[in-house]
Amino acid sequence: MSAWASGLFDNDEAMDFVGDLAEAPDWRTVVQMLDHVTKTAGYLEAPEGEIAVAAAAIVAAAVGEATILPDSHRQLKAALGAPPEGAVALARSALARVVAPASELDELWQEGDDHDAWLTQIAALQTTLSAPQ
């Protein structure tokens, strides 16, 4: 795992994903990643989990506060606009998959001391995504 802290974008995969999205803002990229993760049967690899968390955070930022995004990418909320129908539910499902059994990302966080801090970040995203739109 290439994480340096428990924040949503505190890893290489997430920062690469949001950086690429900032260069070519398109909801299809976000939705495709979330859809892929929710449909992955069996073991979910850590890099896919990290990107799924970033994609869910982008959806949460679109329906909530842009402060969820890294400082350097807060303009992404305006560039993307409102998420497409179904994106919020898909983001919630993807987050549930990332913390479910057979998720390498969750397993890796469990091995360290910051699992609870990471789960708190995921729970905060779920709360934002569950708020009335």
79-107 pLDDT, tens digit each: 999 999 999 999 999 999 999 999 999 99
pLDDT value of position 90: 98
Residue 89 burial by Cβ neighbours in a 10 Å radius (0-12, 13-18, 19+): middle
Reply yes or no on whether the pLDDT at 1 is more than 70.
Answer: no
What's the whole-number mean pLDDT along residues 1-13?
84
CB 13 within 8 A of CB 51: yes
Query: pTM for the whole thing?
Result: 0.95
Residues 6+ apart with CB under 8 A from 125: 8, 53, 56, 57, 60, 68, 91, 95
Handedness of CA 96, 40, 89, 1 (dihedral sign): positive
